[in-house]
Structure 1
Amino acid sequence: MTTTATPDADGHPARWPRALIDLDALAASRRRQRPTTPTALGRRLLGTRYRTTPAVALIGAAVADAISQPDARLIVTVPPREAKSTTVAVLGTVLALATDPDAEVILASYADNLAHEHSARARALIAEHGDDLGIRLADEKTAVGRWRIAGHRGGLLATGIMAGITGKGADLLILDDIVKNAAEADSDAHRRRVLAEFRGTLMTRVHPGGSVVIIGTRWHPDDLIGHLLATEPERWEHLNIPAVAEAGIPDALHRPPGQTMTSTVGRSPEQFADLRRSLGDRSWYAEFQGVPNSPEGNLIRSTWLDSWRLPSAPVAPALTVVGVDPSDSGEGDAAGIVAASLTRDGVVAVIADQSAPMTSDQWARAAIELAMSTGASEIAIEAFTARATYERVVREAMARYDLPHPIRVTTWPPKGEGGNRGDALARSAALLQAFEVGTCRIAGHLPEFERRAVTWQAGTHQPDALAALVVAHDVLIRSAGSRLTFGVPVSDPVSLAAYLGRRVSG
Structure 2
Amino acid sequence: MPSPTRSSGQTRSAGPRATHCPTPKIPTRNRKKLLRWWADVKATSSVRDWHALSQGGPQPAEGALVTRDLLRAIRDGVTNVEPQKIAISIDPSGGGRDVAGIVGGFLGDDNRVWITHDVSAAMSSAEWSRRACTLAHDTNAAVIYVEWNFGRDMCTLVISTAWKALQDEGKIPVKKLMPLIDPVHAKQGKLLRAEPIAQQMVEDRVRLRGMMTDLENEWATWQPTDSDSPGRIDASCVLVYGLIPEANQGAIVHAPLLNAPRPTNGASSAGLYERRISK
- Which residue does the alignment assign to 2:219? 453
Unpaired runs of 5+ residues, structure 2, are 1-61, 248-279
The answer to whether the 8 A contact 2:74-2:204 is kept is: yes
- Which residue does the alignment assign to 1:429? 195
The answer to whether the 8 A contact 1:313-1:444 is kept is: no
- Which residue does the alignment assign to 1:381? 146
- Which residue does the alignment assign to 1:91? none
Equivalent residue in structure 1 for 2:242, among 455, 475, 483: 475
**Structure 1 residue 478, shift from structure 2 partner:** 2.7
- Asked whether 1:399 is paired with 2:171, we answer no
- Which residue does the alignment assign to 1:342? 107
**Structure 1 residue 433, shift from structure 2 partner:** 0.4
CA change 1:373–1:325 in 2 (3 A) is: same
Distance in 1, matches of 2:76 and 2:196, equals: 20
Q: How does 1:77-476 map to 2 (within 5 A)?
A: 297-312=63-78, 316-328=82-94, 330-400=95-165, 401=167, 402-403=172-173, 404=176, 406-413=178-185, 420-421=187-188, 423-460=189-226, 461-476=228-243
Larger radius of gyration: 1
- Which residue does the alignment assign to 2:26? none
Distance in 1, matches of 2:80 and 2:196, equals: 22
CA change 1:462–1:313 in 2 (3 A) is: farther
**Structure 1 residue 444, shift from structure 2 partner:** 0.9
Distance in 1, matches of 2:99 and 2:137, equals: 22
The answer to whether the 8 A contact 1:383-1:412 is kept is: yes
Distance in 2, matches of 1:451 and 1:320, equals: 24
**Structure 1 residue 406, shift from structure 2 partner:** 4.4
Distance in 1, matches of 2:114 and 2:163, equals: 25
**Structure 1 residue 341, shift from structure 2 partner:** 0.9
Distance in 2, matches of 1:397 and 1:406, equals: 10
The answer to whether the 8 A contact 2:92-2:150 is kept is: no
Distance in 2, matches of 1:341 and 1:313, equals: 14
Counting matched residue pairs gives 178
**Structure 1 residue 343, shift from structure 2 partner:** 0.7
Greater relative CO, 1 or 2 (CA 8 Å, sep 6+): 2
What CA deviation, in whole Å up to 9, does each residue of 1:86-110 have, x standing for no partner? xxxxxxxxxxxxxxxxxxxxxxxxx
Distance in 2, matches of 1:313 and 1:326, equals: 31
CA change 1:378–1:428 in 2 (3 A) is: same
Distance in 2, matches of 1:358 and 1:308, equals: 29
Aligned partner letter, 1:462: S
Aligned partner letter, 1:372: H
The answer to whether the 8 A contact 1:314-1:341 is kept is: no
Distance in 2, matches of 1:343 and 1:368, equals: 22
Aligned partner letter, 2:238: V
**Structure 1 residue 437, shift from structure 2 partner:** 1.9
**Structure 1 residue 325, shift from structure 2 partner:** 0.6
Aligned partner letter, 2:126: D
Q: How does 1:5-20 map to 2 (within 5 A)?
A: none
Aligned partner letter, 2:208: I
What CA deviation, in whole Å up to 9, does each residue of 1:297-321 have, x standing for no partner? 1101111122222115865300111
Alignment partner of 2:244: what SS?
Answer: helix
Distance in 2, matches of 1:333 and 1:355, equals: 10
Name the TM-score, length of structure 2 as normaliser: 0.59
**Structure 1 residue 385, shift from structure 2 partner:** 3.6
Name the TM-score, length of structure 1 as normaliser: 0.33
Alignment partner of 1:399: what SS?
Answer: helix
Alignment partner of 1:368: what SS?
Answer: helix
The answer to whether the 8 A contact 1:324-1:380 is kept is: yes
Let me know the Cα RMSD of the aligned residues: 2.1
The answer to whether the 8 A contact 1:300-1:454 is kept is: yes
The answer to whether the 8 A contact 1:309-1:444 is kept is: yes
What CA deviation, in whole Å up to 9, does each residue of 1:363-408 have, x standing for no partner? 0001111111122111111121431111111111111223545411
Aligned partner letter, 2:93: S
**Structure 1 residue 333, shift from structure 2 partner:** 2.9
CA change 1:315–1:389 in 2 (3 A) is: same
Distance in 2, matches of 1:386 and 1:451, equals: 26
Indicate the percent of aligned positions where both proteins have the same amino acid: 29
